[in-house]
A and B are shown apart, each in its own frame.
Chain A
Amino acid sequence: MLRKLSSIVFWVFAILTVAEGVDRSLFKTCDQSSFCRRLRKYEQNQSPYLLDLPHLEVNYQNIEVPLLNSDFPNVTLRLTLTAIVGNIFRVTINEVNGLHPRFVPQYALNGEPQVAKLEVLDKSAESLTVKSGDNKVILTAKPLKLEFFHRESLVSAVNENGLFAFEHYRTKPAESETDLQIKDDPGAWEENFKSHHDSKSRGPSAISTDFTFPGAQRVYGLPEHGDRLALRTTTKGGQDPYRLYNLDVFEYELDTTTALYGAIPVIYALGPKHTAGIFWHNAAETWVDITNSKDANVVSSLVNLVSGSKGEPHVDVRFMSESGVLDFFFLIGPTLKDAVKQYTSLTGVHALPQLFTLGYHQSRWNYNDQEDVQTVVARFDEHNLPLDNMWLDIEYTEGKKYFTWDQKKFPTPENMIQNLTSTGRKLVVIIDPHIKRESGYFLHEDALKYDLYVKNKDGTVYEGWCWPGASSYLDFYNPATRDYYKKLYGFDTFKGTTHDVWIWNDMNEPSVFNGPEATMPRDCLHYGGWEHREVHNEYALTHTMVTHEGLLLRSPHRRPFILTRGHFAGSQRYSAVWTGDNDAKWSHLAASIPMCLSEALGAMSFCGADVGGFFHNPEVELLQRWFQAAIWLPFFRQHAHIDTRRRESYLYTEEEINRIRMALRLRYAHLPLWYTLFWEQETGGEPVIRPLVYHYPADENVLDIDNELLVGHSVLARPIVEPGESSVEIYLPGDKKAKWYDLEDFKLYRAGSHRLPVNLDRHLVFYRGGTIVPRKDRPRRSSQAMRHDPFTLYVALDDLNSASGALYVDDYESFDYKDKKYLYLHFNFEKNVLSSKLIDKTDYATQEWIERIVILGPPPGITGAKLVSKSVGTVTLETFYDAEGWSLTIRKPGVTIREPFKVTLI
């Protein structure tokens, strides 16, 4: 096979690292990053910062206090404290009359947060106490300290360890002068890494502060890292802080704090009494040090905590960013659920996706041509493997020129798409932000003509290498770029596409093969004169934001679907994410769960991992297990590297195909649950998938569990992520009364640890007693084919023989639901009566009906059931117990879901 030159360049680079996976030397350690290195050298408890409380300004919406640095008497900073609706405080610290403006992320917030009332309780020259609702902040003047209280108990203290830092912009000191703040760090005014030079013409500008969380046992968050769910202590044993800097890491490693494709700077500190969070609103490179007191021999000096006695558990978190305004939102909690909702209230939710996006996605780099695409679909059908979407990677384009088609391989994309949609399938194609520098390519020529590219520091157009070879990068901060780019998705410019084509935005960290750390130089310039260093982590968000606009413009009546690799706080409003270029290894299968759980806590629930692993070939056991696991993550796609063997599910033995088919069918059966959860996520801000600790924060056993996950609050999945297992340990959370039902046979288990036998067919899934899970159990070839199918309700009874659940239904694709054209049903089972009622006063004309009700842990001696509804009147229904009496099936209620009904066991 011959490759294009561009690929050769990349692969020559890539092969050097192929044996060992990631080439770590390509990416900076804290010690190789000037600001991280110099900030980390700070001594604790020597803060020169003080609040000038006598000059406090109490405004209508906030309070403002000058903040002084005793080492630099001429420099004035200003601290602004704002209360935000929903138990949130915002603290912003910026320079007054600084040499250069400082950047605040422009698109992370879902609009300006709604300000809440702030009240000054007490003020003196030494301290200030303000109150908002049940929460209180005490600001201490010297040295600077902020303490957040919820109902009189201390939640967190800022600058408790005296590590607050704000490197104001300054003129470069003469050689002889010593800068008290920068000391003599050689990288402060210009910095080299490998062969790359960062001119840093504005000099040092780092910001940092520490947060202490008394009583906290664990911290979670800070996606994206190839790491466990619970964040580790980074301040001992030569560990690097968690790094947030969007990077295209080739063959990334696991169990590290190194940076990956996305950066969501939100962290939650969980304790038995209180959980709070911080949203660090900054798009520059950020490092986060964590010190958990549980990790013995921690060097930290602390434990002179304000309210805590010596030895009380606590966690210290320290954010360090290269530049920007010091701006953070303090999420008061008091529970993890509250804190996550608070974060979501700031940055937004996933809008309800179209149903098909929750089905199975089949991708590969690359399906060779349009016949190939059609053949793959035909073979899925031949083997009765459900499938919703086919994907095209970069090779569909003409010479990696996005918005074009390779005329030889895809001469009639309309026909191919028509072939897909005729069986209810859709197409997703890739569109990357790098643009091939080729004269005659309309997009490149337009970008030059209208000045839409990111610039070098000297103002010329920046040029880097990516898939097409020499490329330039669109600057989405430029309104002209956004206006131009969104129109490209129109059918007149992106010819051959239809309303059934959706978009995959990849390589938007941005990935630059020959750039420093395979990304864009930090001294490149964006619209408005912002250096790339300021906006870096937000770049991918701007890309997907414009794509989202473009798709709405193109198909105003369909909910857009975009998959992105690079992401930032707020990306959830526009896109789903996947965990990038993972590997066909058991460890990567295992990592997909904590990685997505972590994303979900960052409001990015719509997350998945390439099934089978992107690089290399999965052994068939791994592949089967991967399917069994991936059906429990929101985004479900198989994808593979061009050098791997084909792995479409029909290529295996009948036994193996059947195992995969069973997993796929289980996924499709649960689509009503997924869809309902996404609706509830949009309306209530709760993640779709949740770690156990989300619902059971008081149970110390679950603090570190990240090989199990909850889908909503009804399904607990414990995928098998080790080869050759014949039995596995599972922890079922809850109190003594909690009940869990094994999905395999509806056998009842109580909360606690269990060792259960497994085989290749069996992975562990449980329904929680007390919940009602709506399913569609008829196997179909696609989600589209299921839209009129009837529901089966699984009623898993709790200790009091009751259960409840919800079901959301609409047209599964349009925005009509915004006009109340939907059904949101609440099911309740109590005293042997299952009732259904509409939660919202809405209607949607659906034919969907209830086919079956299965009661798990049923009362004994039931002989039948009685259905009552308006249109049906009263009907007697048959019921059957299974052989063990673990479930009771109510035969064919046959009632439409549009109207309330009652089913009484008799």
Chain B
Amino acid sequence: MSFQKFLRIFRLNLFIFLVTLIELGRSSVQIPRLRGVSFARAPLYDAEKDFTCFDGSKTIPFKQVNDDYCDCSDGSDEPGTSACPMGSFYCTNAGHKPQILPSHRVNDGVCDCCDGTDEYANENDKCINNCLEVGKAAREEAARLIEMYKVGKQLRAQLSQEGQQMRNQKEQKLNELIKNKEEAERIKAEKEDIKNKAVEAENKALEYYRELEEQYKRKKAEQEIEKLREEAVENFKKLDINQDGLLDYIEIQSRQAFDRDRNGEVSEEEAKLFLGNQDSVDLNTFVETTWKLLKPFVIQEATRLYNKPPQDGNQEENEPEVQQDLEQEQAQQPPEDEEEDDEEEEEDENEGREQQEEEQEHIPYDEETQKLVDLANEARNEYSQSENSLRDINDQIRQIEESLKKDFGSDEEFASLEGQCFEFTDHEYVYRFCPFDKTVQIPKSSSMETSLGRWSKWDGPANNIYGSMMYDQGQNCWNGPNRSTKVKINCGSENKLLSVSEPNRCEYAFEFETPAACKGFGDQQGEKEVHDEL
């Protein structure tokens, strides 16, 4: 079968030599090229010889190359058709840059190459050649990128310099602080010594007074017990209506105050409960046990009597006055002199206060002792001041050390971003990105911040570790994880938060542009890209 017949029979546009004219400098060169083969590989397809698959697996007659049937497992016999799953198709894209497609993009109805050479089989799927247009746009884009990188790189160098300076300053400051710290520690030790001595002297001088105070307290306590006893006796007398030296339950019943269950009457049972289920108690028992049970009720009664609703005006305003009056009264009259029930209650309330006063007041020291006490106080103050300034220094050191520990890039180029914040606003929220610190979300309608993460680490891929940042441990999502943010860092001529999205629930993705990321491009890649343009 002749080659021509073969073509006619199968109606397939197989085995077509493409002749492409390419402007190379000033000379026109004609290169015959098999469909889908790059210039570099063209010599491997020699129509005069049988074709051996690149992987050596098979040798076939050359007419089976590009005949739309896959003979080679590596796909090398079908560079221009979609027959081989493993094959690839080369389009020159004159006016733009060449492209290598997987074979299955050939004749699939989608124009992948700008020169349209990947779609040749079906009339309806023909593509236009827009390489000039696309190439122009790509070149402009490339030029823009190159310009951006150029500018960006300069800025990056500055940033890097600033970063280095900042690091130096921090290191300097750190050294300074470390020195200051030594000094502060020395001062602290000194002051501690002074303080210890002064306190020792003070303690010695106060020993006498402490003994005195102890005695005073003991006496006070005894007086207190006696006072309570007197109070009990006095009340016994009041309650023992028939003065028979026994307080019986009927006498208890006669007093409404003892209506425990507040049902309006003091039942026999209620009354006897106070008396330890006895019919009556004598004075001693009363003093020892019964009074303790009765006293709260007596006081409560007094309170009720005392707190009769105010006649008019505002109770809240009146009350403090009353209180004041009472305190005055209290101060004027020794507790022993109290007669009225309603005042007894006040005494109880004021007990705490009195005791406090008691503790505060102490026996006045003699002049010498006072001097020692003053000296000790002063020494204590100075010591605590020295402690504070050491703590301040330590805090500063820790801050600087933390900052120095942060990775601001291979050349410190990201350092100046620390302490700054950048915002992006979408239709619902404002997003704030504070590099090396946090990411937050603020609804437009309120000022409630939601933490989307705190600075964690650089987490770009191994070949571009500074390509992205991770912020994690943000606010917990309801029924979900803690919020986190991945910030993609790209080169740009200025610092700018470009976009925010939430690809997974509570996992945010920010895109950030900064000159600090303008590295690499143009060194090799950029030049290559430009070089590839035809």
Interfacial residues, chain A to chain B (CB-CB below 8 A): 1-2, 11, 15, 18, 368, 372, 384, 408, 422-424, 642-646, 777-781, 784-790, 847, 849, 851-852, 871-872, 875, 891-892, 894
Does the CB pair B505–A778 fall under 8 Å? no
Per the bound structure, the CA–CA distance linking A803 and B89 in Å amounts to 37
Closest 9 CB pairs of A and B: A785-B108, A892-B69, A408-B427, A779-B104, A894-B10, A645-B504, A423-B110, A780-B104, A643-B505
Q: Which residue from chain A places its CB closest to the CB of B480 in the assembled complex?
A: A643
- Known contacts A785-B109, A872-B9; A368 and B479 CB within 8 A of each other: no
B503 at the interface (CB under 8 A from A): yes
For B479, the chain A residues whose CB sits under 8 A away are 11, 15, 18, 643
Q: Which residue from chain B places its CB closest to the CB of A785 in the assembled complex?
A: B108
- Known contacts A789-B82, A851-B69; A646 and B104 CB within 8 A of each other: no
21 A-B pairs within 8 Å (CB atoms) are namely: A18-B479, A368-B503, A408-B426, A422-B110, A424-B108, A642-B505, A643-B505, A778-B82, A778-B104, A780-B108, A781-B105, A785-B104, A785-B109, A788-B107, A788-B121, A788-B122, A847-B121, A851-B83, A852-B69, A871-B9, A894-B12
For A642, the chain B residues whose CB sits under 8 A away are 505
B502 at the interface (CB under 8 A from A): yes
Does the CB pair A785–B83 fall under 8 Å? no
Report the count of interface residues on B (CB-CB < 8 A): 34
CB distance from B89 to the nearest CB of A (A): 13
Our pick among A1, A422, A891 for the contact of B502 (Cβ within 8 Å) is A1
Which of B109, B427, B428 is packed against the most chain A CB atoms within 10 Å? Answer: B109
- Known contacts A1-B477, A788-B122, A894-B10; A646 and B503 CB within 8 A of each other: yes
Per the bound structure, the CA–CA distance linking A422 and B479 in Å amounts to 40
CB distance from B399 to the nearest CB of A (A): 34
Q: Which residue from chain A places its CB closest to the CB of B82 in the assembled complex?
A: A778
Q: Which residue from chain B places its CB closest to the CB of A648 in the assembled complex?
A: B503
Our pick among A368, A777, A872 for the contact of B501 (Cβ within 8 Å) is A368
Which of B83, B108, B121 is packed against the most chain A CB atoms within 10 Å? Answer: B108
Per the bound structure, the CA–CA distance linking A424 and B124 in Å amounts to 14
B518 at the interface (CB under 8 A from A): no
Does the CB pair B108–A368 fall under 8 Å? no
Q: Mark B413-452, 1 if CB is under 8 A from A, else 0.
A: 0000000000000111000000000000001000000000
Per the bound structure, the CA–CA distance linking A852 and B85 in Å amounts to 14
Q: Mark B106-148, 1 if CB is under 8 A from A, else 0.
A: 0111100000000001100000000000000000000000000
Per the bound structure, the CA–CA distance linking A372 and B500 in Å amounts to 12
- Known contacts A1-B477, A643-B480, A788-B121; A778 and B110 CB within 8 A of each other: no
B67 at the interface (CB under 8 A from A): yes
- Known contacts A779-B104, A784-B109, A788-B122; A1 and B505 CB within 8 A of each other: yes
Q: Which residue from chain B places its CB closest to the CB of A876 in the assembled complex?
A: B1
Q: Binding site of A, secondary structure by majority: helix, strand, loop or mixed?
A: loop
For B247, the chain A residues whose CB sits under 8 A away are none
CB distance from B425 to the nearest CB of A (A): 12
For A789, the chain B residues whose CB sits under 8 A away are 82
Which of A15, A778, A891, A894 is packed against the most chain B CB atoms within 10 Å? Answer: A778
For A851, the chain B residues whose CB sits under 8 A away are 68-69, 83
Q: Mark B79-117, 1 if CB is under 8 A from A, else 0.
A: 000110100000000000000001011011110000000
Per the bound structure, the CA–CA distance linking A423 and B108 in Å amounts to 9
B34 at the interface (CB under 8 A from A): no
Does the CB pair B69–A891 fall under 8 Å? yes
Interfacial residues, chain B to chain A (CB-CB below 8 A): 1, 9-10, 12, 67-69, 71, 82-83, 85, 102, 104-105, 107-110, 121-122, 426-428, 443, 477, 479-480, 501-507
Q: Which residue from chain A places its CB closest to the CB of B499 in the assembled complex?
A: A371
CB distance from B177 to the nearest CB of A (A): 43
For A781, the chain B residues whose CB sits under 8 A away are 104-105, 108, 110
CB distance from A385 to the nearest CB of B (A): 12
Per the bound structure, the CA–CA distance linking A818 and B108 in Å amounts to 27
Does the CB pair B477–A384 fall under 8 Å? no
Per the bound structure, the CA–CA distance linking A642 and B102 in Å amounts to 34
Which of B67, B121, B503, B507 is packed against the most chain A CB atoms within 10 Å? Answer: B503
Which of B10, B102, B501 is packed against the most chain A CB atoms within 10 Å? Answer: B10
For B502, the chain A residues whose CB sits under 8 A away are 1, 368
For B9, the chain A residues whose CB sits under 8 A away are 871-872, 875, 894
- Known contacts A11-B479, A424-B110, A891-B69; A778 and B83 CB within 8 A of each other: yes
Per the bound structure, the CA–CA distance linking A207 and B12 in Å amounts to 67
Q: Which residue from chain A places its CB closest to the CB of B124 in the assembled complex?
A: A788
CB distance from A568 to the nearest CB of B (A): 34
Per the bound structure, the CA–CA distance linking A777 and B83 in Å amounts to 9
Per the bound structure, the CA–CA distance linking A784 and B85 in Å amounts to 17
For B443, the chain A residues whose CB sits under 8 A away are 2
For A778, the chain B residues whose CB sits under 8 A away are 82-83, 85, 104
CB distance from B16 to the nearest CB of A (A): 17
For B67, the chain A residues whose CB sits under 8 A away are 892
Q: Which residue from chain B places its CB closest to the CB of A894 in the assembled complex?
A: B10
Our pick among B68, B105, B107, B504 for the contact of A646 (Cβ within 8 Å) is B504
Which of A642, A784, A849, A892 is packed against the most chain B CB atoms within 10 Å? Answer: A892
Per the bound structure, the CA–CA distance linking A11 and B480 in Å amounts to 13
CB distance from A781 to the nearest CB of B (A): 7
CB distance from A615 to the nearest CB of B (A): 12
For B504, the chain A residues whose CB sits under 8 A away are 645-646
For A788, the chain B residues whose CB sits under 8 A away are 107, 109, 121-122
For B428, the chain A residues whose CB sits under 8 A away are 2
Per the bound structure, the CA–CA distance linking A779 and B103 in Å amounts to 9
For A852, the chain B residues whose CB sits under 8 A away are 69
CB distance from B452 to the nearest CB of A (A): 10
CB distance from B103 to the nearest CB of A (A): 8
CB distance from A156 to the nearest CB of B (A): 51
For B121, the chain A residues whose CB sits under 8 A away are 788, 847
Per the bound structure, the CA–CA distance linking A787 and B110 in Å amounts to 12
For B477, the chain A residues whose CB sits under 8 A away are 1
CB distance from B111 to the nearest CB of A (A): 9
Does the CB pair B85–A779 fall under 8 Å? yes
Per the bound structure, the CA–CA distance linking A786 and B82 in Å amounts to 11
CB distance from A155 to the nearest CB of B (A): 53
Per the bound structure, the CA–CA distance linking A543 and B528 in Å amounts to 59
For B1, the chain A residues whose CB sits under 8 A away are 875
Per the bound structure, the CA–CA distance linking A646 and B507 in Å amounts to 11
Does the CB pair B122–A847 fall under 8 Å? yes
For A847, the chain B residues whose CB sits under 8 A away are 121-122
**Interface contacts beyond A15-B479, A643-B505: sample of 16 additional A-B pairs, CB < 8 Å, sorted by A:** A1-B506, A372-B503, A408-B426, A424-B108, A644-B505, A777-B85, A778-B104, A787-B109, A788-B107, A789-B82, A790-B68, A847-B122, A849-B10, A851-B83, A875-B9, A894-B12
Per the bound structure, the CA–CA distance linking A851 and B501 in Å amounts to 47
Q: Which residue from chain A places its CB closest to the CB of B108 in the assembled complex?
A: A785
Q: Which residue from chain A places its CB closest to the CB of B12 in the assembled complex?
A: A894
For B426, the chain A residues whose CB sits under 8 A away are 408
For B108, the chain A residues whose CB sits under 8 A away are 424, 780-781, 785-786
Per the bound structure, the CA–CA distance linking A790 and B68 in Å amounts to 10
Per the bound structure, the CA–CA distance linking A422 and B505 in Å amounts to 30
CB distance from A881 to the nearest CB of B (A): 14
Does the CB pair B104–A384 fall under 8 Å? yes
Per the bound structure, the CA–CA distance linking A224 and B506 in Å amounts to 35
For A646, the chain B residues whose CB sits under 8 A away are 503-504
Per the bound structure, the CA–CA distance linking A851 and B105 in Å amounts to 18
Per the bound structure, the CA–CA distance linking A424 and B104 in Å amounts to 14
Per the bound structure, the CA–CA distance linking A212 and B82 in Å amounts to 59
Q: Which residue from chain A places its CB closest to the CB of B508 in the assembled complex?
A: A1
Q: Which residue from chain A places its CB closest to the CB of B477 in the assembled complex?
A: A1
Per the bound structure, the CA–CA distance linking A209 and B279 in Å amounts to 84
Q: Which residue from chain B places its CB closest to the CB of A406 in the assembled complex?
A: B427
Per the bound structure, the CA–CA distance linking A291 and B78 in Å amounts to 63
Q: Which residue from chain B places its CB closest to the CB of A369 in the assembled complex?
A: B501
Per the bound structure, the CA–CA distance linking A424 and B105 in Å amounts to 12
Q: Which residue from chain B places its CB closest to the CB of A665 in the assembled complex?
A: B85
CB distance from A436 to the nearest CB of B (A): 20
